[in-house]
Structure 1
Amino acid sequence: MTACIAADPETLAPEPRVAFLSDDAIDILAYAVQSLEEGRGAALVTLVEIRGGAARRLGAQMVVRDDGLYCGFVSGGCTEAAVAADAMIALKKGMDRQLRLGEGSPFIDIVLPCGGGITLAIHVLADVAVLRKALAALDRRMPVCLRYRPGKRALCLRMGEGASGWEGEWFVRAYRAKPRIVVAGTPLEVGAVASVAIAAGYETVALERGQVPSPGELDADTAVALLFHDVDRELAVLTTALASDAFYVGALGSRRTHAKRCEALLACGQVESVLARIKAPIGIFDKARDARALAISIVADIAHARTRLEAAFNPNSHR
């Protein structure tokens, strides 16, 4: 009979495991801050190069803790555990490192399904204050950039908009506020759209009857969906939305209703070029006859518009 001696748990590295599933950039940064504040070591993993195709855009991120817990995605989910294991080595050594996977990688046993290759920068986080300031700005719906210089292991904050990509020796990761949907109209349609939007992860604001936000409340990361069955009732909110930076303004109704809407807006002093901002009929398909189908159509249309906006801000972050 052979005796078995169990390995000493103290000498074993923790097994990488998912803390929670999310690819939301703000959620990932928040997890990094939480981890550091709990006294855990944490690394920020960033996709800094794409060779061929990739499942994620340039700048996609993960956070990995020294206990093996991680969140975020830098691929389609097929390599994240291996990436987390490599990040844990970086944490143990206290040194930043780079990891190449797929095409051009020494790890021939890790093949990306897309057939391309990626390079990941693993940064051992030391300064929680930078991340706190970034999150505070994003909470105020202000865009920010984190700038990382691998050779110096430096991470710093820059306020304002930017594009994710290399600027000389610095890799810039641009962040925008979470997308928000402001919806107004009849209770049935508003409730359905709000439910779908919340399930899809959007910050959602349902306006009360007669409530009109200021143009400043409708920022460049906000979509406006107007679901009235009476053009006269929507005009105050619609006029405000057209004067704002909202990335999407949509309104319910047929093409005939939209023609009536445009006539009313022109009579109020609007110009044709401004009216072109209105997506009407709202949604990705016409003639949705029930509230649930309408809600799916609208939220999908807003998601499409948001994707185009992100592509415009990050022209080099191809897939």
Structure 2
Amino acid sequence: MKTPQPEVLIYAEHASDILAKGAALAQARRPFALITSLAIEGGAAREVGSLALVEAGGQMTGYLSNGCIDRDIQHHALEALTTGRKKLIRYGDGSRYVDLKLPCGGALTVLIDPDPDTALLTRAAEALHARQSVQLTFTAPEDGPDHSALTRRFTYTPQHRLVLAGRGAIFRSMAQLGHATGYDLHLLSPDTEDIAATEHLASAPARHLTSPNAPQELMMLDSHSAFITLFHDHEWEPALLRAALDTPARFIGSLGSRRTHETRKDTLRALDVPAAALARLRGPIGLVPSLRDASSIAVSALAEVTAALQDRAV
């Protein structure tokens, strides 16, 4: 039987996206092979534990390299779907596939499972959707090339969430960039035109803010979240920041000058926000100071958020 040629490769990155795709395929009773990065030596485009899947028609969702071996992984996955047998493949240093080099050096060991436990994967997808971390264990075939990597367990955390409260050009630019970067985006704004322009980027309906002094609840903020206020009219900030500082959000920050930030903290002190909570508030946000255009400010701010959210286990 001739192996079908690989078709589309979708560069999904987060485990929740791969697992959600797998759960949908399982529900539709469509076969797929699950691919997992079990071991890395030296440099690599993805981290150990990264996931991908290949459908029987050849479509690959996710990636394990920066294009240098993904097509070969597709071919092996299609073969595994035909034979029904797991495959453990080593690329790079020490690999028998000498024609496939890893430009970054080192080696990558991947497991291809043509018959994954779809019930387990579906439960994992549901847990990640509910903002809960999950652990998955992967067992390689005993006749694979690397007998020291027979079993690996990885922890997968929910997709990072970016919650933006603001209005104007910077709010819109930040929403566009956050969506393009793959954040689970939530939006709050007093401006209905800004909401109309950005709501399609968010994963939940935008919240229309109607009064600066109205108490706020930010239940969407968890330890995998970042919250940013993007206002030039700073009277909207105190109630929002007070609510955010009562959550376990990993990053809380605000737009503005250093003088504005000191005034902001004075206002929050007057609202009896504890010093320990105020110490969590970052500002002025952004890795590059004194920027004037909205797009650059958004890039600078999101870079700081990304750096703060990187201390996670996968």
Q: Is the Cα–Cα contact under 8 Å of residues 43 and 125 in structure 1 kept in the other structure?
A: yes
Match of 1:180 among 158, 161, 166: 161
Matched AA of 1:203: D
Partner residue in 1 for 2:37: 47
Q: What is the alpha-carbon distance in structure 2 between the residues aligned to residue 219 and residue 274 of structure 1?
A: 15
Q: What is the alpha-carbon distance in structure 2 between the residues aligned to residue 196 and residue 93 of structure 1?
A: 43
How many residues matched? 286
Does residue 199 (structure 1) correspond to residue 177 (structure 2)? The answer is: no
Match of 2:296 among 276, 285, 293: 293
Q: Is the Cα–Cα contact under 8 Å of residues 88 and 141 in structure 2 kept in the other structure?
A: no
Partner residue in 1 for 2:195: none
- Three-state SS of the structure 2 residue aligned to 1:217 is coil
Identify which range, 171-180 or 210-219, moves more after superposition.
210-219
Partner residue in 2 for 1:317: none
Partner residue in 1 for 2:56: 66
Match of 2:136 among 142, 146, 150: 146
In the TM superposition, residue 100 of structure 1 has moved relative to its aligned partner by 0.4
Q: Is the Cα–Cα contact under 8 Å of residues 190 and 206 in structure 1 kept in the other structure?
A: no
Does residue 305 (structure 1) correspond to residue 308 (structure 2)? The answer is: yes
Partner residue in 2 for 1:227: 230
In the TM superposition, residue 255 of structure 1 has moved relative to its aligned partner by 0.9
Matched AA of 1:309: D
Q: Is the Cα–Cα contact under 8 Å of residues 34 and 116 in structure 2 kept in the other structure?
A: no
In the TM superposition, residue 186 of structure 1 has moved relative to its aligned partner by 2.8
CA-based RMSD of the aligned residues comes to 2.2
5 Å matches for 1:92-241?
A: 92-150=82-140, 170-207=151-188, 208-209=208-209, 210=211, 213-241=216-244
Q: Is the Cα–Cα contact under 8 Å of residues 215 and 245 in structure 1 kept in the other structure?
A: no
Partner residue in 2 for 1:5: none
Q: What is the alpha-carbon distance in structure 1 between the residues aligned to residue 216 and residue 9 of structure 2?
A: 38
Partner residue in 2 for 1:155: none
Q: What is the alpha-carbon distance in structure 2 between the residues aligned to residue 228 and residue 189 of structure 1?
A: 9
Unaligned runs of 5+ in 2: 143-148, 189-207
- Three-state SS of the structure 1 residue aligned to 2:306 is helix
**% of aligned pairs identical?**
34
The superposition leaves residues 6-46 of structure 1 with CA deviations (integer Å, 9 ceiling, x where unpaired) of: xxxxx321012224232232222222233333433211111
Unaligned runs of 5+ in 1: 1-10, 153-167, 315-319
Change beyond 3 A, Cα 1:93–1:177? same
Q: What is the alpha-carbon distance in structure 1 between the residues aligned to residue 133 and residue 273 of structure 2?
A: 30
Matched AA of 2:5: E
Matched AA of 1:303: T
Q: What is the alpha-carbon distance in structure 2 between the residues aligned to residue 213 and residue 29 of structure 1?
A: 33
- Three-state SS of the structure 1 residue aligned to 2:311 is helix
In the TM superposition, residue 169 of structure 1 has moved relative to its aligned partner by 6.1
Match of 2:17 among 15, 19, 27: 27
In the TM superposition, residue 231 of structure 1 has moved relative to its aligned partner by 4.1
- Three-state SS of the structure 1 residue aligned to 2:155 is strand
Q: What is the alpha-carbon distance in structure 2 between the residues aligned to residue 79 and residue 169 of structure 1?
A: 22
- Three-state SS of the structure 2 residue aligned to 1:309 is coil
Q: What is the alpha-carbon distance in structure 2 between the residues aligned to residue 23 and residue 172 of structure 1?
A: 19
In the TM superposition, residue 212 of structure 1 has moved relative to its aligned partner by 5.6
Q: Is the Cα–Cα contact under 8 Å of residues 17 and 81 in structure 1 kept in the other structure?
A: no
Matched AA of 2:138: Y
- Normalised to the residue count of structure 2, the TM-score between the two structures is 0.83
